[in-house]
Chains A and B, each alone.
Chain A
Amino acid sequence: MINKNLAIQTINLSKKFGKLTALDDLNLEVEPNSIYGFLGPNGSGKTTAIRLMIGLSRPSRGNAYVNGLSCTARRMEARQVIGYLPDVPMFFGFMTGLDYLVFCGKLFGLSFKEAQKRAWPLLDLAGVKDAANRKANGYSRGMKQRLGLAASMMGNPKVLFLDEPVSAMDPIGRANVLDIIKNIKEKATVFISTHILSDVERVSDKVGIIDHGRLLVSENIHELKHKFSQNCITVNTLEDNAPLAGIIKTHDWCSDVIVRTNDQHMPELVIYLKDQIAARSALPKLICQQGFTIINYITTQPSLEDIFIKLAGVK
């Protein structure tokens, strides 16, 4: 059922390349004026999903709607409200940054003067105003992403698709661009595809996690964390605790254990519990009986990374 009030809606969206199913029955909904973080490991189908939603690719089954407009049947109208930043923005070698923005503006129906008038503030916002009259192909990777972001906004889009928008930027640049993205929310819906989880955590209202072409979860980020946090304990030990994980997993009160090293390079176990009450007494005793020295033992709200790893199964 098409809901015209949604900014983005996909209904059984699927894509096959021969025998390979790149996307399998994607059903997601994005509210207007929100930021949706689309997460997944490499090759999970993120870019395929975006390309279907912006009309560069045709679905094998199902459909995608942007602002209630079908991305297949009403492609031209849908493109009028879409802005897109690809993961590797490319520019015509003979164009300067300003030329490219003006060209984009004209393709959206602006006159030359209108396009110039719109381009300069966007170049300033994106932080490439000083390089506006330089050939775009001579920009650094980070500058190209910024120029691409500015270009994606030339048409005053209602829905902005950003594929890895900050992957090539330094930390300061990344923070700056993420702030820009947060502010865009007031005028447009933003759909970010990335595998930088901290960025999604920072700006997104809703998160979708995809793996092997299937959407594993699509939920408000706080509700998602709350759902996973209720039964989660993080334990740091002095010794390498990988053998301990196997022992803990055998108990009924445990649903899953993730082994990792924390930022201080200490061995860490993230233990997901089925029965918090049973684990409360059994777990500390078990760890000590096995000869491990507990340094930290805390109930935690898992990070998005933890949830991502748990759902996508990436170690």
Chain B
Amino acid sequence: MQKFFVLLPKELIENWKTHKIVLVFAFCIALGLIVPFMADGNYHGDPLVNPLQSGYIVYDFTDWLSMGMLMLIPFMLMSTVAKEVKDGLAAAVLVKPVGRGAYILAKFLVSYLIFALAVTVGFAICYIYALRITRPWDLDPLSCELFFTMLGFMLLYTAFAVALTIFISTMLRNNVLAGAIAMVLLVAFYGLSFTENIRVFIPFEVVRWGWELVYPNAFQLTAYPGMTPPITSPYWYALWITIGGLLLAILGSILIIRKREI
């Protein structure tokens, strides 16, 4: 257990010194600033969307963020285990009295922490900025409860994506291949979330669940042509599959690294 707390700061410092933390935070903060700014620019004065609504802006932000994460998470984390094993760095650590489980958990925890904090900061910036610019017009500003619910679903999906990428990175020695496979899988989940019958089982639906909770708030005064009324349905299957998938990916990573030739 003590060795786990030696690995944690090492992973954190490594992510800082290799600028991964900066990149992830920069992406989320930039998005948090750009999306409300674009919404203000695009929709201000639009009689269909006006009054501009904070809920819509945050909805828009999660849309962009979730698509960005499909690429950012595999790109940032593809080398996490694969490259260390290939370069002999994993051997340099695991030849010492360090559990292989602790090795994987430290990587997962630090990677998730970075993304979770960055997503939270981006969300917060977007939310505060959105409330500010919509104040004169928004009759029903997005409540804190809904904001935190959306954020919670987004953080859950981020955890799943991080765990999945680390799992694939653990399986393979080629970090580029690991990143590609992780990206393909995450994009596939996103694509499948648009299919009627199976989307309720797809992990990406937890993000959509957040959207649909916000939907009535986001679009209550909207009358865009062709826009269908909101359908709010519980995505319990997707929720449990996301949680289960996340736990299985972590467990799978630990089991693989234990059996693997390092």
Q: Which of B88, B96, B259, B261 contacts A108 (CB 8 A)?
A: B96
Looking at B10, B91, B92, which has the most chain A CB atoms within 10 Å of its CB?
B92
A109 vs B98: C-alpha distance in the bound complex, in angstroms?
A: 10
> How many A-B contacts at CB < 8 Å in the complex?
58
Stretch from A76-84, A209-217, A232-240, A249-257 forming part of the interface with B: A76-84
Q: Which of A34-91 contact B (CB under 8 A)?
A: 54-58, 76-77, 79-80, 82, 84, 86, 88-91
Q: Which of B12-20, B51-59, B169-177 is near enough to bind chain A?
A: B12-20
Is A107 within 8 A of B88, CB to CB? no
A155 at the interface (CB under 8 A from B): yes
Q: How far is the CA of A57 from the CA of B262 in the complex (A)?
A: 7
Cβ–Cβ contact A109 & B17, under 8 A = no
| A224 contacts the other chain (CB 8 A) | no
The minimal Cβ–Cβ distance linking A149 to chain B, given in whole angstroms, is 13
CB contact list, A75-126 vs B, under 8 A: 76-77, 79-80, 82, 84, 86, 88-94, 103-104, 106-109
Q: Interface digits, B66-95 against A, CB 8 Å rule (1 contact, 0 not)? A: 000000000000000000000111011111
Query: When the two chains form their complex, are residues A86 and B88 in contact, meaning their CB atoms are under 8 A apart?
Result: yes
Determine which of B3, B13, B17, B259 lies in contact with A107 in the assembled complex, contact meaning CB atoms within 8 Å. Answer: B3
Q: Please, which residue of chain B has its CB at the minimum distance from the CB of A75?
A: B97
CB-based contact B2/A56 at 8 Å:
no
* A90 to B88 CA separation, bound complex (whole angstroms): 6
Contact indicator B95/A106 (Cβ below 8 Å): no
Q: State A88–B3 Cα separation when bound (angstroms).
A: 25
* Beta-carbon contacts under 8 Å, B1-15 to A: 2-3, 6, 10, 13-14
Within 8 A of A (CB), among B85-132: 87-89, 91-99
Closest B-chain residue to A103, C-beta based?
Answer: B10
Closest A residue to B5 using CB positions = A106
Contact A107 B14 (CB under 8 A): no
Q: Please determine whether A90 and B98 come into contact, CB atoms closer than 8 angstroms.
A: no
Bound state CA distance, A90 and B3, in angstroms? 20
Q: When chains A and B are docked, how far (Å) is the Cα of A106 from the Cα of B98?
A: 11
One of B6, B14, B91 near A92 (C-beta < 8 A): B14
Contacts of A107 in B (CB 8 A): 3, 6, 93, 96-98
Most buried by A among B14, B17, B93, B96: B96
A221-243 to B contact mask, C-beta < 8 Å, 1/0 = 00000000000000000000000
Beta-carbon nearest neighbor of A88 in chain B: B88
With A57-B261, A94-B17 as known contacts, state yes or no: A86 contacts B96, CB within 8 Å: no
Bound: A253/B261 CA distance, A: 50
Residues in A whose Cβ lies below 8 Å from that of B93: 107
Q: Tell me which residues across on chain B come within 8 A of A76, comparing CB atoms.
A: 97, 99
Are B96's CB and A79's CB within 8 A?
yes
Query: Is A86 a contact of B14 with CB atoms below 8 Å?
Result: no
Asked if B95 contacts A84 (CB within 8 A), the reply is yes
Q: A92 contacts B3, CB within 8 Å?
A: no
Please state if A79 and B97 are interface contacts (CB–CB under 8 Å).
Answer: yes
Task: List the B residue with the shortest CB-CB distance to A54.
Answer: B95
CB distance from B256 to the nearest CB of A (A): 13
Q: Which residues of chain B are within 8 angstroms of A82 by Cβ–Cβ distance?
A: 95
Q: Is the CB of A108 within 8 A of B91?
A: no
Q: Would A80 and B97 be within 8 Å (CB), given that A94-B14, A107-B3 are in contact?
A: yes
A residues less than 8 Å from B87 (CB atoms): 90
Shortest Cβ distance from residue B156 to the other chain A in the assembled complex, whole angstroms: 31
Q: Which residue of chain A lies nearest to B94 when distances are taken between CB atoms in the complex? A: A56
- A90, B261: Cβ atoms under 8 Å? no
Q: Which 10 A-B residue pairings sit nearest by Cβ, starting from the closest?
A: A94-B17, A90-B88, A107-B96, A79-B97, A106-B6, A80-B97, A84-B95, A56-B262, A76-B97, A57-B261
Q: List 7 A-B contacts (CB under 8 A).
A: A58-B261, A79-B95, A90-B87, A93-B18, A94-B13, A107-B3, A107-B6
Extra pairs beyond A76-B99, A94-B18, A103-B6 (10, CB < 8 Å): A54-B95, A56-B91, A76-B97, A79-B96, A86-B88, A86-B91, A94-B14, A106-B6, A107-B98, A155-B96
Residues of A within 8 A of B (CB): 54-58, 76-77, 79-80, 82, 84, 86, 88-94, 103-104, 106-109, 151, 155
Residues of chain B at the chain A interface (Cβ within 8 Å):
2-3, 6, 10, 13-14, 17-18, 87-89, 91-99, 259, 261-262
